[in-house]
Structure 1
Amino acid sequence: MTGIASNPRPLVVRCGAFGDVVMITPLIRLLHARYGQPVDVVGSGGWTPPLLEHEPALGHLQMIRSRNTPYLLCPSQWALVRWLRARGRGPVYLCDTDAAIEGLLARAGLPEADIVRRLPADDHDADGRTRLWPDRWMHMGMRDPAQAYPTRADVDPAAHRLPVLTVTAADRADLAQWRQASGLGDCIVLFQPGNKRTHKRGRIATASHPKYWPPQAWAELAAAIWQARPQARIVLCGSPAERSVLEEIRQAAGGDARMFNGADALPVPRLLALLEVAHSLVSVDTGPAHAAAALGCPLVVLFGPASPALWRPIGPGTVIALGGEHEGHGRVRDIPVDSVISAWRQLADAPAS
């Protein structure tokens, strides 16, 4: 890797959760504009390909199954190292800083002069205010590695600030077929009660998790939505592992036929297509909330210990953040139902799809 390509492709390294992947889409598009080349991405997790594979600025997506498995036992790490060695030099925007990913980049021989790392200056604006994650990536993406590579000077980062996701015609057609088969009407309101850590350790741990909102609270919110829009269908979003948790919410709402448990029916492509047309989403602070914002779905986000100043989703639609005031000690269950109902009513004028 001694020669420098004349038209180097930038590389983004981000092995993040669902929301993390959504939040790097501005960086991918910014680097595509700056370098005039497709942007390669190193990622992990089953959600990453469906979130990024239709991104117009994407070059090659190289997936690794695990960063923490010993190298000799992880073929996807071998493949990553081989691919990095073969692709040649270019600017590398390193969004992950854990020792495991650093070790893989070192094993591949990536020169330090090619790597751009996040700095403290990326995290706060000139007035010392905390930047949201997409804004941090924007600031980082405007910096160059020590090794100079040709870039355009007329790129405005503000034009690329909002996360963007691509929904294909095939995904829209699949959604239309599923909606018809499921008897869902034209006005769909989505609930996202859990995140990837909420339901990992059983029912007791779920109830004690800081992002937990009780089933009865969700049921009271549903009743208020049906009072305002009796024709609305409420779809409970989550993974297949969360089916029983979503069912508790449906039962708390009296088993109303207008509430649909979507745990077994919403792979990522269909979820994105649904977010694109839904009336609104009420969600705890988790990845699908970021996807909803990117797709313009009006939403209310319930924060526990995380700070909305850092993690609030952004997009072209309305986003209302509640909670998160307790500097790392808050719980979603402390957010009153009336506050969530009031926030949702601010979204209620959004046109139904």
Structure 2
Amino acid sequence: MSQRAVRHPVVIRFGRLGDTILLQPLLHKLRHRYGGACRLVSLGDCSRVLYEGNEDVAEVRHFDSQYGALWLNPQRLRTALSLRELRESPFYICEPDVRTRTKVRPMLALAGIPAEHCVFIEDTPLYEAEHWVDWLMRFADETPLAFRDALCPDRAWPCAPHLEPTAAELDEAGQWLAHHDMYGRPLVLLQPSNKRTMRWNGVRKREDDDKSWPVERWAALCTAILDHMPEARVVLCGSAAEAAYLATIGKAAGHANVITPREGLPLGQLRALLHIAHSMVSVDTGPAHLAAAVGCPLVVLFGNRWPSMWTPRSATGSAVHAIGGLPDVPRIDHIGLDEVAQAWRQLPPRPAPMARRPLQQALRA
């Protein structure tokens, strides 16, 4: 009997951080189906940070923007041309958005990717109230016409993302904690912002953002957490562009144990901190999915989205408590402080079997 050919599936997804995290179970399943790690074509550097060195991903090819015509976007054009060398691979296009699909198909055409090498998630109907990961996992069972020999192993597949921090990320986080005199303290991370929070001229008006929770409630939540756990440090998470907004929350809280990083938290450092943190409270956004993927107990606040489709999933069994969302709560600012504080207090600890790599080596002189 001849040995099955090893192939490296190409997965295309032009999503943001949360979308990219939710791909992990599909990437894992496709690696086992085809025998080779996937090649991920994606939007933004977050995909490289998340998957560089991951056993399910052989390489990441990414560009910064999908906007504009292909011929006028040099990064996207170079990425499209680079796909020519992968023409013998199976292609899984996980992009459901019509506008973005108009960006994918020209890239495939320019690269000369045969139609029989491709499957598109748009051809796999989404079931009512189906979770996004479950949809992706069903899509992973689809097979391009040219690769009908790629049978799916008959086994149970994990249907939740699992993303461990790298040793370098843990080292950097350990040094950061030591520098801020927080090493050994319980950490509670808060993620108040989302991709819509900031505009070119400042913070978006609250009425224009269904994921916006008032500054005074975030500040009061900081106080409630520290009243319950005085030895803790509350860290306000976000990007460098959101640092000024986070500072307004820190100022309103008025407590020395509320920490607002001046330059925000880089993604790799955030992953490492989530790996050791006591818990996180977040709006429905990418870092919430990262918290669950790393095994950090989580309270997540939903606005105009269905929790049945988007609640973060934990492969380690860590707690995820979703509050709000459709059909009953269309905006996060409809959620009261007491409900969030109580949900946080009731979070169970991380599952005991979960091993967390130590940070001690990061504190060596």
Give the alignment's TM-score, normalised by structure 2.
0.88
Per the alignment, residue 325 of structure 1 pairs with: 326
Per the alignment, residue 115 of structure 2 pairs with: 112
Per the alignment, residue 240 of structure 2 pairs with: 240
CA contact (8 A) 1:23 1:163 kept: yes
* Alignment map for 1:117-128 (pairs within 5 Å): 117-119=120-122, 121-124=124-127
Which stretch shows the higher mean deviation, 22-31 or 219-228?
219-228
* Alignment map for 1:79-94 (pairs within 5 Å): 79-94=78-93
Per the alignment, residue 268 of structure 1 pairs with: 267
The DSSP-based 3-state class of the residue aligned with 1:347 is: coil
String of CA shifts for 1:52-89, please: whole Å, max 9, x gaps: 11211111211123222222322222322222111232
CA contact (8 A) 2:238 2:264 kept: no
Per the alignment, residue 177 of structure 1 pairs with: 175
Query: What is the alpha-carbon distance in structure 2 between the residues aligned to residue 263 and residue 19 of structure 1?
Result: 24
Residue identity (%): 36
CA contact (8 A) 1:34 1:155 kept: no
Per the alignment, residue 55 of structure 1 pairs with: 54
> Which amino acid counterpart does residue 47 of structure 2 have in structure 1?
T
CA contact (8 A) 1:299 1:320 kept: yes
Query: What is the alpha-carbon distance in structure 1 between the residues aligned to residue 258 and residue 295 of structure 2?
Result: 23
| Cα distance change, pair 88–63 in 1 and its aligned pair in 2 (3 A) | same
Query: What is the alpha-carbon distance in structure 2 between the residues aligned to residue 143 and residue 336 of structure 1?
Result: 43
Matched pairs, number: 342
CA contact (8 A) 1:10 1:91 kept: yes
Gaps of 5+ in 1: none
Per the alignment, residue 15 of structure 2 pairs with: 16
Query: What is the alpha-carbon distance in structure 2 between the residues aligned to residue 342 and residue 88 of structure 1?
Result: 53
CA contact (8 A) 2:187 2:234 kept: yes
Aligned-residue CA RMSD (Å): 2.1
String of CA shifts for 1:177-208, please: whole Å, max 9, x gaps: 11010111420000000011112254562422
Query: What is the alpha-carbon distance in structure 2 between the residues aligned to residue 88 and residue 120 of structure 1?
Result: 21
Gaps of 5+ in 2: 357-365
> Which amino acid counterpart does residue 162 of structure 1 have in structure 2?
A
The DSSP-based 3-state class of the residue aligned with 2:198 is: coil
String of CA shifts for 1:132-169, please: whole Å, max 9, x gaps: 1111110100111122243244243x423111213111
Per the alignment, residue 150 of structure 1 pairs with: 149
Per the alignment, residue 30 of structure 1 pairs with: 29
| Cα distance change, pair 211–153 in 1 and its aligned pair in 2 (3 A) | closer
| Cα distance change, pair 230–40 in 1 and its aligned pair in 2 (3 A) | same
The DSSP-based 3-state class of the residue aligned with 1:313 is: coil
> Which amino acid counterpart does residue 108 of structure 2 have in structure 1?
L
Deviation at 1:318, TM superposition (A): 0.5
